Amino acid sequence: MSDAWIGTGIWIGTGMMTAGDPGRTRSGAQGALQAIDSSARAWSGRGAVAQWLERNGRWCLFASGVCLLSTFSALPARANVPSYSTYQLEARSNFGDGFNLPSGSSFNSGTPAIAPDGTVTVRLLVVGSTGNGGLFYGKDGVGGVVYDAPTDRFVSDPSINSAGEVAFERSWDFESEGVYVYDPVTGNSTLRVPVGGSFGIQNFGDPQINASGQIGCRVDLGSAQAFVTDDAGTQSLYAQEGVDGVGYLFLAEFNDAGQLAGKVRLGGIDESRPDEIRRYEPGGGYTTIAVDQDSDSGSIFTRFGNGVSLSNSGWVAFVGRTSVGDGIYVSDGVTLRTIATVADPDINSIDFFYPSVNDDGLCAFRAFDGAGLRVIFAGDGTSLERVVTEHDILPTDLGDARVDQNDSSPVFGGNPAINNRGDVAFAATLTPPDNNQIEWGTGLFVARGLDPSAVSGSDGASFETRWSAQPNPFRGHVRVDLRNAPDAARGVTIHDAQGRIVRSLAGRFEGDASQVFEWDGRDDRGADLPAGVYFFRAPGDYETAVRIVRVR
């Protein structure tokens, strides 16, 4: 069945509308939602159409008592939204004291980055009393300053890849000195991408590093801005202002697949100009994730936030405004999910900081609840969980501390960051539990996501299956460790994204309760499998599934 409009408020689709050039696609899920008139939207509630569609593999749009169905390819099942009750303090900055940081250090308003294994990093505005910028790096409460910039130098918000490498821009007097990369193996930070290069780069906008060590971001070319990647000195231009109708490029996000995503303003820089969320592909062309009504009068979106988040699996998360108000949305170019809107009973308003998304489409974002308290939520479009709320009590090196301020200032700094385990890194201001007029500085925390499907054994003792996959994404070989999965002794099966078994593996024991499996990316016949998403499944009463991404 081909895509079609029938009457008012009815659209039948099979997943994708193609528009214009071969590098551009329109989200079928967005098209479906755009077709629903205001009364139908009121009937559907928050994301009900998109959620029903994803659960059943069908569009179902109602108008004038008519239900029209069209099948499309089944989507992978979603992971459960984790619950959050365990918090690890990684660092605390303050004027008079600190934890894992010299006294006087500050990372206020910095956005942390978190690796798949839970390692976190954040840029320091100042290191101690030096007045220079720097970089914190740590995991499980152990860490410290790994880079102390030269005199009067500052560093950008960092990014971290699966190998623990950290990329950041160093600048002096508002002039870039290039992109530096911290190597956790050597402990050194070295210049990776100098200014200049193939396109005459003058500045870098929050550079990011992927699993292959490539750097991608928005850059300033002097006369225009562009989306550019650098692979060991070989640079590629994805988009540029003044070319192909692009008027302005907002900050970009980069992933392990070599994709760059961001908000794009067409034809000029005025707010009245059309805006699109695009994901640019490394081979050329782009996927249109969402458009506003200045671009398409039939769009549900009137405007977008300026920043986006991009997962390694291609999900793009963004803040969008509709007739209902602001909301958090994710799309991969085929499916649009409504994560949360101000129509949700738990949410009064969405903060202007952009969300963070992982490979399952699970988002972490800042908002205000009905009581006016600031909250970091996690959600996937089926449910919402509070990660941390203003006035919560969290464990610190000083004892229990309260997420609070001595006035009405925000208690969270920068954006939250989420990894594929559902762990969320965030920065929060702290006070004693009973006196918010005493400042305990700002804490960098990791809230550990607990899978709500974790069960209790027959003896009533609860347990949690923990796993790790390194590296993930992987290119050559990947090692998967499963703990508290006794049935894994019978081996595991590896499934592709369609659920087909492609490989069976036997493991080996290491320690008392850990099973280790190694995979070279080949199927049972020895054939090399393509890049994509795969799942390790351990059999038994309590099935464990581990998501692995293979890249080229």
Q: Reduce the DSSP state of residue 56 to 3 states and report it.
A: helix
pLDDT digits (tens, 9 = 90+) for 15-37: 333 333 333 343 444 443 443 33
- At residue 211, the 3 state secondary structure works out as coil
Secondary-structure class of domain 466-550 per CATH: mainly beta
pLDDT (0 to 100) of residue 488: 53
Question: Residue 467: its pLDDT value, please?
Answer: 64
> What average pLDDT does the segment 178-188 reach?
97
> For residue 324, which of 304, 342, 338 has the smallest C-alpha distance?
342
Instruction: Specify the pLDDT at position 506.
Output: 84
Provide the 8-state DSSP code for 182. E
Q: 180: closest CA among 155, 161, 212, 163? A: 155
Top-confidence residue, 47 or 406: 406
Q: How confident is the model at residue 500 (pLDDT cuts 50, 70, 90)?
A: confident
Return the pLDDT at 483: 65
- The mean pLDDT of 151-173, rounded to a whole number, is 96
**Nearest of 477, 337, 360 to residue 420 by alpha carbon:** 360
> Residue 486: pLDDT band by 50, 70, 90 thresholds?
low
**Distances from the Cα of 469 to the Cα of 163, 298, 361, 477, 533, angstroms:** 11, 44, 19, 10, 13
pLDDT value of residue 475: 77
- Strand-pair category, 166-172 with 514-519: unpaired
Spatial CB neighbours of 512, under 8 Å, sequence gap ≥ 6:
none
> Beta partners for 456?
462
The whole-number pLDDT of residue 316 equals 98
pLDDT in tens, 398-452: 999 999 999 989 999 999 999 999 999 999 999 999 999 999 999 999 999 886 5
Question: What's the mean per-residue pLDDT of the chain?
Answer: 82
**The pLDDT of residue 466:** 54
The model carries a pTM of 0.72
262-319 per-position pLDDT tens digit: 999 999 999 999 999 999 999 899 999 999 999 999 999 999 999 999 999 999 999 9
387 half-sphere exposure, CB direction, 13 A CA radius: 31
* Confidence bin at 459 (pLDDT 50/70/90): very low
Q: Is 233 a residue whose pLDDT tops 60? A: yes
Bridge partners, residue 413, by sequence: 427
pLDDT at 321 over 90: yes
Query: Please, which residues have CB within 8 angstroms of residue 443's CB and are 6 or more apart in sequence?
Result: 89, 91, 92, 99, 394, 396, 401, 427, 428, 429, 430
Average of pLDDT values for 483-505?
74
Check pLDDT > 60 for residue 513: no
pLDDT beyond 60 at 77: no
pLDDT for res 39: 29
User: Which of 204-213, 252-261, 496-505 comes out lowest in average pLDDT?
Assistant: 496-505
307 or 474: which carries more pLDDT confidence? 307
Nearest CA to 59 among 21, 10, 93?
10
Measured between alpha carbons, how far is 337 from 508 in angstroms, rounded to an integer? 40
Q: Where are the domains of the chain?
A: 4-71, 466-550
* Residue of 198, 196, 199, 216 whose CA lies nearest to 207: 216
User: Which of 25-34, 39-48, 273-282, 474-483 has maximum average pLDDT?
Assistant: 273-282
Peptide bond into 471 cis (omega under 30): yes
Q: What value does the mean pLDDT take over residues 121-142?
A: 95
Q: For the residues 545-550, what does the mean pLDDT come to?
A: 71
